[in-house]
Structure 1
Amino acid sequence: MAGTITASDVKKLKQYDLLEESSFAQGNFTQLLDHFNFKEKSTFAQRYWVNDKYWDNKTGPLFVYICGESTCRPPSERGYPFQVCQDLNCLFLVLEHRYYGASQPFPDWSVPNMKYLNSQQALADLDYFIKNQTVEIFNKYGTGVHKVLTIGGSYPGALSAWFRSQYPTTADAAWSSSGVIHAIMDYEMYDYDLYESALRSGASCPDVIKSVNDYVEKAINGTLPQEDKDYVYSVFGGKDLPNNDFMSFLADAVAGAVQYGGREKMCNIFNSIAFATPKQQVPVFNQWAIQGGGDISTYARSVLQNVTYDINKNQRQWMWQVCTEFGWFQVPNKVFPMRSELLGPQYWIDYCHEIFDPTIGPPNVDYYNQLYGGLDIQGSKIVFANAIEDPWQYAGMRHIHNYATQSQMEAVLINCQNCAHCVDLRTPLDSDHPTLTNAREKIRQTVTKWLTPSAEELRKAFEQTE
């Protein structure tokens, strides 16, 4: 985004403060546990939400917002998808992902119980849910023309694109924000993007990041005197962590800032300590990590080994999907590393084995890229949005790859300061960079074109009821 939030931005945000989740009605849907084994009759309760505030029950489309790897909360009415929904008089549906939040098939997350947590089952959940909702709508309102748009950001952005590709008769179009459609075992480009983004604030920002990482690693591995090791632990805590997990905490403190549009703020702080010694830089770095929500105690492996269900926990479930399906292991870039070499490929394989068991991992990324197409995804009427400061952009569709098979898709790459992960889904503000505003408008025009019923579709639908 371009600059400081303006007075009109504040007014706009306050306008939507009273329109949050209260406008969504929550329900529970009886979902099938296994969509691919007809002998398995088990079900579980899957949470969903509905907002019909602006819906035209004769011609309004269905917006199906896909929640992903966390406890689901309906998106804000201030967000851009809901504003597009209002323009099109849509029915806004939200579905919580299996195994996250309250949508739990089993009472705990032991390894045998994780069997049904995968993207294929999640896509089939969507299909079953949408088809059931469509029947309910027909039974309640009668004949109508209701085109379906799936929406998601990040992993749900990939689900949105994959769903349109895999279930083209259920969804008419898809909006994939920062959709990570390409499974990658060792995702080195994630680290490279951190460097590239930090460099936008000048060379001293990535230099400070590297300086702190180098100093901390040498301190905790005993290369430096004992007093340096004691000092690092006194600042950060985490004395009982293995060195590689400790360094993972440092890497995430930077990654989170860049990924969610905080690069400029982070680099302003780091640039201010560029001439300090690494030891002097450490407490400032730690303070930044804490402000960003970092908690080094959560990096203990026992946290992810805990199989006890907690509605607010998502790390174990997501790590399961990473270890079994997608990879995206955030390894150091070979040329401009922003993280320790201790976080190389073997670190992640060992991590999967220890969190679950030795049979889990490495992920079968080739299988999933073949199944869904990776960057050669097939289909039509999918709009992809990615941003230039998002470390996940290289796992997404930054541009159309094959015009012969992807001619009916759109790819938007948003290039502006601090434009990062899922930025197109956020509340439009007057202070937004024109590039972002234009990208959102292109998305709106595209989905409007795809979701507007033709005169022939309307004639056929309503002639049958006369």
Structure 2
Amino acid sequence: MAFHTFVVLLCQVAVFLSLCAVGEGRYSIFRRFKEAQDTKQGSLFEEQWFTQKLDHFNGADTRVWKQRYFINEAFYRPGGPVFLMIGGEGPANPAWMEDGTWLTYAEKLGALCLMLEHRFYGKSHPTVDLSTDNLRFLSSRQALADLAHFRTMIAEARGLTDRKWVVFGGSYPGSLAAWFRLKYPHLVHASVATSAPVYATVNFPEYLEVVWRSLASENTECPLLVKKASDDLVERLKDPRTYENITKDFNLCSKLQIQTDMDSAYFLETLAGNFMNVVQYNEDNRGFEGLTGTNITIKVLCSVMTDSSLGDPYARYAAVARLMMEATSMKCLDTSFSKYVSDMTNTSWDGPAPEAGRQWVYQTCAEFGFYQSTDSPNQPFAGFPLVYFLKQCTNFYNISAEQVAEAVTQSNEYYGAYDIRSSRIVFPNGSIDPWHALGVTQDISADLPAIFIKGTSHCANMYPARSDDPAQLTLARDHIFLLLQQWLKQ
């Protein structure tokens, strides 16, 4: 989409995604995205609906529901391939039907373009609510079965059964793109699996290690100053007399209240999320989706953190938080863990939780983990260890830490983790993107190539090209196109 950068940024920064989320930081990959818009104003592409089974793995269950999709026939030439963009942990944004690198490929190759929204996200509601009992129908396996049935029935209805289907996805949908080709090779001819975390892991402190390295690539002092600020803040939280000043410094919506370790962890993760979000999406071209705050880059953050005129590192850390709020038109920062719990346990589709928050966190608890903890010494933050995330699984869904670990093991057993045995899947990843730590960054085989793009961020190759794109990003897009040309001849 994530990566846990998802929910905190979900709640905090009004920048977010529709296809590259993964929530993959509280994000998504896969929690934190507050997406901008479910639809692009003035979109030329109307939403359409497809009938799906609720449970693909229980023949006795005949319940069905309506899944949203979009179609672009502008580039299709008879005999051309079919491109299927996979939706992820957020609303499917029709902006992708009007722009994006995949459409450049489609125009050159004469492809019909489809985008299918993921069950339980956006307007694709399989159940009456988001109760934990209903969320058992939310899984990557059910999503892949949705894709398979959609592909089969649309092909039959439109006379496309003999066409070659190519799937695209970024972040968690990137993983789905790889797994769709892996599990349904008779339906999928080739896959472009961008920024795909194919290895599930309960604890993912490597995410923040990449954040450190990415900040250091701009200025070696930058992550050191972030660490000093974070450590200073942790010390201040030990004294309730500092809470009033902290409330003012970070422009909090209500006076800071720290009564439990979960309260402090949520507060600290929210502030760290400013850096996690910017690093993950540094200098990408998400603006076409209608997102705000995309002008804040690693360079901007580090310029603030190294500006001694702003005061000590703690003061600069607070200045970053205020800058992010201004960039995303936020009046104040809500860091109340009790409110977060209330929002996340509301099971209504119209509940107050940020878009897709409850759903994505459930998937992390039930399938992937991906918890971006501070359990490594080689990263700049403190105060949100693995136990903080695991307690949420228990509190929100009654899923124990042991069950999370077992679910992660099962996911790796089912999909193969890094040991992918397939063909015609390309794995683009950016070196700045923290999610590359769980992705394929070296060729598995000649038919399973990796494209590691130096200096680029999450899903960078998917966004519309710009004249000032780094040369390596342009070459990566060209490389993917050449692979598609080659594979479509096979």
Please say whether Structure 1 and Structure 2 have the same fold, judged by a TM-score greater than 0.5.
Answer: yes
Greater mean deviation of Cα atoms: 188-197 or 299-308? 299-308
Matches within 5 A, 1:130-141: 130-138=151-159
Partner of 1:337: 379
Alignment of 1:399 onto 2:442: yes
Equivalenced residues, count: 420
Q: Check 1:144–1:354 CA distance in 2 against 1; reply closer, same or farther (3 A cut).
A: closer
Separation (CA, whole Å) in 2 of partners of 1:369 and 1:144: 31
1:48–1:96: 8 Å Cα contact kept in structure 2?
Answer: yes
Partner of 2:108: 87
Separation (CA, whole Å) in 2 of partners of 1:297 and 1:379: 45
Report the AA paired with residue 85 of structure 1.
Answer: A
Separation (CA, whole Å) in 1 of partners of 2:98 and 2:457: 21
Match of 1:408 among 422, 432, 447: 447
The CA deviation at 1:303 is: 1.8
Report the AA paired with residue 357 of structure 1.
Answer: N
Alignment of 1:171 onto 2:188: yes
Report the AA paired with residue 388 of structure 2.
Answer: Y
Separation (CA, whole Å) in 2 of partners of 1:144 and 1:185: 40
Report the AA paired with residue 334 of structure 1.
Answer: S
Which contiguous aligned blocks of 4+ residues in structure 1 show a shift greater than 6 angstroms? none
Partner of 1:296: 334
Separation (CA, whole Å) in 2 of partners of 1:135 and 1:324: 34
The CA deviation at 1:76 is: 4.9
Q: Secondary structure at the match of 1:392?
A: helix
Match of 2:65 among 36, 39, 44: 44
1:398–1:413: 8 Å Cα contact kept in structure 2?
Answer: yes
Q: Check 1:393–1:304 CA distance in 2 against 1; reply closer, same or farther (3 A cut).
A: same
Q: Check 1:155–1:301 CA distance in 2 against 1; reply closer, same or farther (3 A cut).
A: same
Q: Secondary structure at the match of 2:47?
A: strand
Separation (CA, whole Å) in 1 of partners of 2:299 and 2:208: 17
Separation (CA, whole Å) in 2 of partners of 1:161 and 1:343: 31
Alignment of 1:320 onto 2:362: yes
Partner of 1:354: 395
Report the AA paired with residue 118 of structure 1.
Answer: S
Q: Secondary structure at the match of 2:404?
A: coil
Partner of 1:62: 82
RMSD over aligned CA atoms reads: 2.1
The CA deviation at 1:78 is: 2.8
Alignment of 1:128 onto 2:149: yes
1:204–1:274: 8 Å Cα contact kept in structure 2?
Answer: no
Partner of 1:7: none
The CA deviation at 1:274 is: 8.1
Greater mean deviation of Cα atoms: 93-102 or 307-316? 307-316
Alignment of 1:181 onto 2:198: yes
TM-score when normalising by structure 2: 0.81
Partner of 1:276: 311
Q: Secondary structure at the match of 2:434?
A: coil
5+ residue gaps, structure 1, are 1-18, 455-466
Q: Deviations over 1:401-441 (max 9, x none)?
A: 4xxxx33111100002xx10000001111111111110110
- Percent identity between matched residues is 29
Match of 1:380 among 423, 426, 430: 423
Q: Check 1:407–1:154 CA distance in 2 against 1; reply closer, same or farther (3 A cut).
A: same
The CA deviation at 1:275 is: 7.6
Separation (CA, whole Å) in 1 of partners of 2:309 and 2:334: 24
TM-score when normalising by structure 1: 0.85
Separation (CA, whole Å) in 1 of partners of 2:177 and 2:191: 6
Matches within 5 A, 1:206-285: 206-222=223-239, 226=241, 228-236=242-250, 237=252, 239-240=256-257, 242-261=263-282, 262-273=297-308, 276-285=311-320
Partner of 1:14: none
Separation (CA, whole Å) in 2 of partners of 1:423 and 1:116: 31
Partner of 1:3: none
Partner of 1:152: 169
Partner of 1:438: 475
5+ residue gaps, structure 2, are 1-39, 283-296
Q: Deviations over 1:330-382 (max 9, x none)?
A: 01252322221x31121111121112225584241111111101111110000
1:25–1:51: 8 Å Cα contact kept in structure 2?
Answer: no
The structure with the largest alpha-carbon Rg is 1
1:70–1:314: 8 Å Cα contact kept in structure 2?
Answer: yes
Q: Secondary structure at the match of 1:409?
A: coil
1:194–1:255: 8 Å Cα contact kept in structure 2?
Answer: yes
